Amino acid sequence: MFKNPFSITGRIRRAEYFISVVMLIFLIGWIYMTLILFGAIPGSILALGLIPMVWFVIVQGVKRCHDLGKSGFFQLIPFYRIWMLFADGQIGNNVYGPNPKGITGNE
């Protein structure tokens, strides 16, 4: 889990995608908002910290799209990110790599 978290190659399971969404939106987002509200860190420094967070969210979405057999651009469709939380990945290998669950489709 979380192998090469900033690389757009490969596929990830629903669980990893869900954990990354929850981790970033709720935990890190809450910490950032707390720091902004109390003025503990200047906003410009916080803005620099947002760059890797946004990249991480985009990359995790791309990998989840790959698991569904779609291009990473599909995550630009409204509400498609919600669909990615519930849809099953493609069984077996696809053009984006092997199945992260290890299911080959030959069983």
What are the sequence ranges of the domains in the chain? 14-86
97 backbone dihedrals φ, ψ, rounded to 5°? 140, -175
- 43 band by pLDDT with thresholds 50, 70 and 90: low
For 6-22, what is the mean pLDDT?
86
Tell me: pLDDT of 76 over 90: yes
CA pair distance 71, 66, nearest whole angstrom: 6
| Spatial contact of 39 and 56, defined as CB atoms under 8 Å apart | no
Q: What is the pLDDT of residue 64?
A: 92
Q: 3-state class of 23 per DSSP?
A: helix
Q: Pick the residue with more confidence: 102 or 58?
A: 58
The pLDDT value given to residue 71 = 92
